[in-house]
Amino acid sequence: LIFSFQALMGKPYGSLPRKTVPRAEEASAMNFATLWDFSGFAQYSVLFYGYYNNQRTIGWLKFRMPLSYFLVGVGTIGYSFMIVIRTMARNANEEGGGDDTSFNFSWKMFTSWDYLIGNPETADNKFASITTSFKEAIVEEQESRKEENIHLTRFLRVLANFLALCTLAGSGYLIFFVVRRSQKFALEGLENYGWWERNEVNMVMSLLGMFCPTLFDVISSLENYHPRIALRWQLGRIFALFLGNLYTFIIALMDEINLKASYLLPFIIFNMHLEEEKIVKYNMTIWEASLYNGTIPENSTAPPIQVDPADVPRGPCWETMVGQEFVRLTVSDTMTTYITILIGDFLRAVFVRFFNYCWCWDLEYGFPSYSEFDISGNVLGLIFNQGMIWMGSFYAPCLPAINVFRLHTSMYLQCWAVMCCNVPQERVFKASRSNNFYMAMLLFILFLSTLPAVYTIVSIPPSFDCGPFSGKTRMFEVISETLEHDFPSWFGKVFGYASNPGLILPFILLMVLSIYYLNATSKSYKEANLELKKKLQ
C-alpha cells in the first residue's frame, strides 16, 4: 500500500536529494556489484525508508504518507500478534481435552480409507498416509509401555544438556571473537585483507548454523526421549543458537555502522549527542551560502539558484543502512538455501543413485544414503526468516514483497527436492501435537522482532534528512500532529486522557486478571470433559 501510493502520487526519482544518487556515486550506481549490494540506484529507490516523502499529504487524494507509514508498520505487528494467537487457540481447541487412543488401531483399520478416491496417484498418497499413521500409533504405544533405568536416564540427560550448553557457549564465544576481529579489520582497512577476512562473520555464522544442529542431533540420542519430545528439545537448542546468531548479527551491524557513519544503530540503548548531524547541517549551511558567493543580499527578490539534487550534500540515513543489511541478509539466506538444496540434496542423491551399483557397500542404506527431510531445520528456517521480515520491514518497506517471492520459489524448489531427493525421517511421531509448540516459538520470535522497531519509534530521533519522519524529534509525533491539524480540539483532549498511564495500567491489569480467569475456567471445563468421557466408557 505505502509502496503503491509513493510510486503513483509521490515526487518521482530525481526530484529531491533523498531520491537522487549523489554525483560522486553516479558512475558506479548501475554496476551489478553495486546493485547486488543494494547500493547505488537501489539505495535511493522505494525499497528503503529514506526515499519516502515527509510531506503531510501527497497527490490529489491528499494521501497522508507519514501517518500511513507509521500506522501500517504498527498495524502489521498488531495483526501478526492477533493471527498467531488465534491460530494457537484454534489448535488448542482441535486437540481437545482428553486422550484419543481408545480403540485407536480399530478406528484406523476400518475407517481410514476414502472410498471416493478414483485417481491412482491420490490412492498411493492416501496409502502412504495411512501407513505413516499406523507407524505413529505403534510408536506412541511402544513409548507408553517402555521401561527404563531412571537413574541412568537422568545422568545421560544431564550430560546431554551440559554438552549442549557447552556447544552454545562455545558458539557464542566464537562469534564474539570473530566480531572483534572484524572490527579490527575494519579499522585497519578491509582492502588490505582477503576475501575470508572480509566475510569472516557471515561465513562463521553460516558454518555454525550448518554443523551445530547436527551436533545437537547426536547429543539428543543420549537422552532417550519420545521422538516428539526429542524434536522439541532439538528445536529449542537450535532456536537458542539462531537467536544468539541473530542478536550477534545486530551487534555486529551496530558496530559496523558506528565505524562507517559514527552513528549507533537504534537497537542498543545509548546516550549519544548527534554530533555528525550537526556537522552535516553546518556544512550544508556553508554550501548554501557559497552558492550565492556573498553577492545577493538577504532581502533580494532574485529567483533562487537552481541546483541539481545530485549535487546537494546530505546527512546520514541510518534507517536505510539498517534496511540494506536486512535485505542483504534475506537475499544471502535465500541463496544459501538454494545452494544447500542443489548440492546437499540433489548431488548427494545423484551420487547415491548411480554409484550404488559399483560401490563396496549399499549406499542407499549405509553411508551417505539419501538425505532426510529435515523438519526442525525447515521449521526454524521459516520462523527466523519471518522474524527477519518483521524486524526489517519498517526500514525496508518492500522487504515483505521480496520475501513473498523468496517463499514461492523456495516452496517449488523444496517440493521438487522432497519428491526427488529426500526420504522421510526414520523417527516417526505424531507431528500434529507439536503445532502449538511451533506457534509458541513463532510468537516468541515475533515479540523479540518488534522490540527494536518499538524502541526506535519511541526513543530514537529519526534522521533529519531522509524518510517520512524527518524534521521530527520522535517518530510517534506524527500522531499528535495529525490530531492537531485534522481533528477537533476536544478529540485530541479525549485521546490524551485515554493514553494517560493512569488509565492504561489499570486496563492492562484488568486484562491480565481476565486472562487468568478464562484460563482457570478452561481448565475446569477440560477436567469436566475428561470425567464425562470416563463415565461414558
Q: Let me know whether 90 and 125 are in one domain.
A: no
Task: State residue 269's pLDDT score.
Answer: 32
Which among 202, 315, 335 has a CA at the least distance from the CA of 256? 202
The reply to whether 396 falls in a domain is: yes
pLDDT band for position 291 (cuts 50, 70, 90): low
Helix (H) or strand (E) holding 507: helix 501-536
Identify the bridge partners of residue 58 per DSSP, sorted by sequence position.
63
Report residue 272's pLDDT band, with 50, 70 and 90 as the boundaries. very low
Coil, strand, or helix at residue 58? strand
Mean pLDDT value across the chain: 76
Structure-model confidence comparison of residues 78 and 243, the more confident one = 78
Please check whether residue 113 lies inside any domain of the structure: no
Work out the burial of residue 47: count CB atoms within 10 Å of its CB; fewer than 13 is exposed, 13-18 middle, 19 or more buried.
buried
Q: Tell me: pLDDT of 313 over 60.
A: yes
User: Are the C-beta atoms of 43 and 11 separated by less than 8 Å?
Assistant: no
Question: 350: domain range?
Answer: 28-97+317-536
* pLDDT above 60: residue 293: no
Looking up cell 506524527, which residue turns up?
A: 478
Whether the per-residue pLDDT at 376 is higher than 80: the answer is: no
> What does the buried/exposed string (b/e) look like for 278-313 if buried means 16 or more CB atoms within 10 Å of the residue's CB?
eebeeeeeeeeeeeeeeeeeeeeeeeeeeeebeebe
Whether residue 414 is contained in a domain is answered as: yes
pLDDT at 273: 38
Are residue 371 and residue 395 in the same domain, yes or no? yes
Mean pLDDT of the 363-381 span: 77
Q: Is the pLDDT of residue 317 over 70?
A: yes
Distance CA 2, CA 393 (A): 12
Short-list 441, 446, 440, 326, CA closest to 380:
441
Report pLDDT digits (tens) over 194-229. 667 766 766 777 777 777 877 887 888 787 777 777
Question: In this structure, are 174 and 78 located in the same domain?
Answer: no
Q: Which residues touch 305 (CB under 8 Å, ≥6 apart)?
A: 291, 292
User: If you search the block for the grid coordinates 486472562, which residue do you land on?
Assistant: 515
- Which pLDDT does position 492 carry in this prediction? 76
pLDDT score of 27: 80
Give the residue with greater pLDDT, 397 vs 255.
397
Same domain flag for 229 and 354: no
pLDDT for 479 equals 84
pLDDT value for 490: 79
Give residue 460's region: left, alpha or beta (phi > 0; psi -120 to 50). Answer: beta
How far is the CA of 266 from the CAs of 46, 178, 270, in angstroms?
22, 22, 8
Grid look-up 523438519 returns 375
Which residue reads 470425567 in cell numbers?
531
- For 387-419, write each residue's pLDDT tens digit: 888 888 888 888 888 889 988 998 898 888 888
Confidence of residue 536 (pLDDT cuts 50, 70, 90): confident
Domain boundary among 148, 164, 190: 148
Interacting residues of 153 by C-beta distance below 8 A, sequence separation 6+: 223, 224
Is residue 352 assigned to a domain? yes
- pLDDT at residue number 264: 37
Residue 147 reports pLDDT greater than 60: yes
Residue 298 reports pLDDT greater than 60: no
Q: What is the pLDDT of residue 202?
A: 67
109 vs 257 pLDDT, higher one: 109
What is the mean predicted confidence (pLDDT) over 337-351? 84
Nearest to 256 by CA among 173, 187, 172: 187
Is there a contact between 200 and 181 (Cβ–Cβ < 8 Å)?
yes
Residue 274 scores a pLDDT above 60: no
368 and 511 in a single domain? The answer is: yes
Question: What's the whole-number mean pLDDT along residues 136-161?
Answer: 76
Asked if 434 and 415 sit in the same domain, the reply is yes
Q: Is residue 191 part of a domain?
A: yes
Query: What is the number of residues in the chain?
Result: 537
Q: Cα(289)–Cα(305) distance, rounded to whole angstroms?
A: 11
Half-sphere exposure of 290 (CA within 13 A, CB side): 8
Q: Give domain status of residue 207, yes or no.
A: yes
pLDDT confidence of residue 301: 53
Q: Is residue 269 part of a domain?
A: no
The total number of structural domains in the chain stands at 3
Same domain as 60, residue 140: no
Of 181-185, 342-346, 393-397, minimum mean pLDDT range = 181-185
For residue range 413-464, what is the model confidence (pLDDT) as tens digits? 888 888 888 877 766 555 555 677 778 888 888 888 888 788 778 877 888 7
As a whole-number percent, the residues of the chain with pLDDT over 90 amount to 0
What average pLDDT does the segment 363-379 reach? 76
**Stretch 68-76: mean pLDDT:** 87
> Do 211 and 360 have their domain in common?
no
Is residue 41 domain-shared with residue 66, that is, in the same domain?
Answer: yes
Q: What is the pLDDT of residue 19?
A: 75
Choose one of 263, 287, 306: the last residue of a domain.
263
The upper half-sphere exposure of residue 23, i.e. CA atoms within 13 Å in the direction of its Cβ, equals: 7
Query: Has residue 22 been placed in a domain?
Result: no
Range scoring the smallest mean pLDDT among 85-89, 176-180, 269-273: 269-273
* Same domain? 231 vs 333: no
Mean per-residue pLDDT, 124-147: 76
Q: What is the mean pLDDT of residues 227-250?
A: 76
Cα 43 to Cα 21: distance, rounded to the nearest angstrom: 8
Residues 6 or more apart whose Cβ sits within 8 Å of residue 130: 108, 112, 113
At residue 343, does pLDDT exceed 70?
yes
Distance CA 221, CA 208 (A): 20
Predicted confidence at residue 262, as pLDDT, reads 41
Whether residues 415 and 467 fall in one domain? yes
**Given a cut of 60, is residue 33 above it in pLDDT?**
yes
Provide the CA 347 distance to its chain's centre, in angstroms.
29
Distance CA 266, CA 436 (A): 33
Average pLDDT over residues 355-367: 78
Q: Are 244 and 171 spatial neighbours (Cβ–Cβ below 8 Å)? A: yes
Indicate if 139 and 174 belong to the same structural domain: no
Question: What is the model's pLDDT at position 161?
Answer: 85
pLDDT tens digit sequence for 473-529: 888 888 888 888 877 877 777 877 777 777 788 888 998 899 889 888 888 988 898
336 within 8 A of 47, measured Cβ to Cβ = no
